[in-house]
Amino acid sequence: MSFKRLDPEDFLISADSITAGAWSGNSPSITTFFTSSVQEAGSSGDYYLNVYSENPDTSNTASVEFAVAFGDSAGSGSILYDPGQNGKSPSSTVFGQFQNIVLGDENNNFIFGGVTPVTQSFFALSVERSKYKGSIFPGTMNLVLSSSAGFITLTDNSRDVSTTVFNEAGRVFQLVSGSNGNAIGEGDTPASAVSNGMTISGSYGLFLPDIGCLLLNAPALELPEADGGIALDVGYQTNGDDDNNRAIFEVVSGSGTTGVGKANFLLNSQENITSDFLFIRARNSEYNYSENPSFISGSTGEVLYTNFINAPQTFITSVGLYNDANELLAVAKLSKPLKKDFTKEALVRVKLDF
């Protein structure tokens, strides 16, 4: 017999969580930031800016790391689609897009750290899907924002909270001033802030690891440095392009500000790899003879060496996995032959990834 049936206990399904640096080359951090002049000048530039770690205008290997977009409930900060239709602009489109996937209801407002800002506007940082893979790994996000007024380091508060909050976009954490998943302490937080690492306008935004997005609370970033902000100049024209996407890009990249040399975006990706493990067991009495043509001599089937009659030795090189119709579905090769005889039992663990 060549085939041996697998028992139920020979199968094991394992889901392993794999984390890695999120950015190109599995790097955990980006310190240089570029946009594409072509993309910015195109129609998509009205909605978002793609951000690269290499200059896409000069490098063939540059790939998109994340995109930044500005969303405003009143459609402010960008040019109206139709001058006669107030409130309908790229910024309101972006706002409605995230309202739909994060809040699930067009009538709900964004609440940041328990505060519902009167001005419902945010900056979305949407990480490229191939970069964050399955989700962003909470507690690894550190983002430095800097302007001429100063700089702050934002992180999620995943290590400060004991229970995880969920919304329509999956897990949700607050963006706070701090590092590696912990907010700064009370002594470093402005007195007016609603909580440690936050501001009077609430948290700095929402961290949504399951959809690979950060929503930065614009009113919090507009606050002066003394109140925890960076005095970000956000434009709210009712029918004019305030170029808010470039404004957030500049505070992320730290270009021309006090943040020169401090720009940094740290992130780890996370994905679950589901593997089938099969345990292949060859008992001592099994698989000790071979149909290999070099195992026999002549055409009548005599074994090659007389000592193979009572003490045969075989060398396992391949494991084949079959269905009931004896069709070979998967094959695994050993890195070197595994000796098998009547005094040995072999146990081979085969990993099948999907």
Partner 1 sequence: MGYLNNSIVTIDAILTNKGRELLARGDGSFKITQFALADDEIDYTLYNPTHPSGSAFYGQALENMPLLEAFPETTQNLKYKLTTLPRGTAKMPVLDAGFAAITLKQGASLAITPQTLNYLGNNQIFETSGYTATLADVRTLSNFNGVGINTEQAEALNQTQTIGTNVSKTVVGTTINLTATTVNTLFGSNTQLNTTLQIVGRDSGARITIPVTITKTT
Q: Which is nearer to partner 1, 58 or 335 (CB)?
A: 335
Closest CB 270 distance from partner 1, rounded Å: 22
Question: In angstroms, rounded to a whole number, what is the distance separating the alpha carbons of residues 96 and 9?
Answer: 50
Q: Which is nearer to partner 1, 165 or 330 (CB)?
A: 330
Residue type for 226, please? A
- Tokens 């434009």 sit at which residue? 235
Q: Which is nearer to partner 1, 272 or 307 (CB)?
A: 307
Q: Which is nearer to partner 1, 5 or 163 (CB)?
A: 5
Closest CB 17 distance from partner 1, rounded Å: 19
Q: Which is nearer to partner 1, 186 or 302 (CB)?
A: 302
Closest CB 57 distance from partner 1, rounded Å: 41
Closest CB 320 distance from partner 1, rounded Å: 4
Question: In angstroms, rounded to a whole number, what is the distance separating the alpha carbons of residues 283 and 270?
Answer: 40
Closest CB 354 distance from partner 1, rounded Å: 9
Q: Which is nearer to partner 1, 161 or 350 (CB)?
A: 350
Closest CB 343 distance from partner 1, rounded Å: 11
* Token pair for 294: 């070099």
What is the length of the chain?
A: 354
- Report the phi/psi class of residue 261: left, alpha or beta, with left for phi > 0 and alpha for psi in -120 to 50: left
Q: Which is nearer to partner 1, 236 or 289 (CB)?
A: 289
Q: Which residues, in sequence order, are CB contacts of 124 under 8 Å at separation 6+?
A: 48, 67, 68, 69, 70, 71, 94, 98, 213, 214, 215, 216
Residue 167, CB half-sphere, CA atoms under 13 Å: how many?
21
For residues 47-68, one letter each, b for 16 or more C-beta atoms within 10 angstroms of the residue's C-beta and e for the rest, the string is bbbbbbbbebeeeeebbbbbbb
**Can you give the binding site for partner 1, defined by CB under 8 A?**
1-6, 276, 278, 280, 282, 285-296, 299-305, 307, 309-310, 312-340, 342, 346-353
Closest CB 273 distance from partner 1, rounded Å: 12
- Tokens 């109140």 sit at which residue? 227
Closest CB 322 distance from partner 1, rounded Å: 5
Beta bridge partners of 226: none
Secondary element (H or E) of residue 244: helix 244-253
Question: In angstroms, rounded to a whole number, what is the distance separating the alpha carbons of residues 240 and 51?
Answer: 23
Q: Which is nearer to partner 1, 60 or 285 (CB)?
A: 285
Question: In angstroms, rounded to a whole number, what is the distance separating the alpha carbons of residues 270 and 105?
Answer: 28
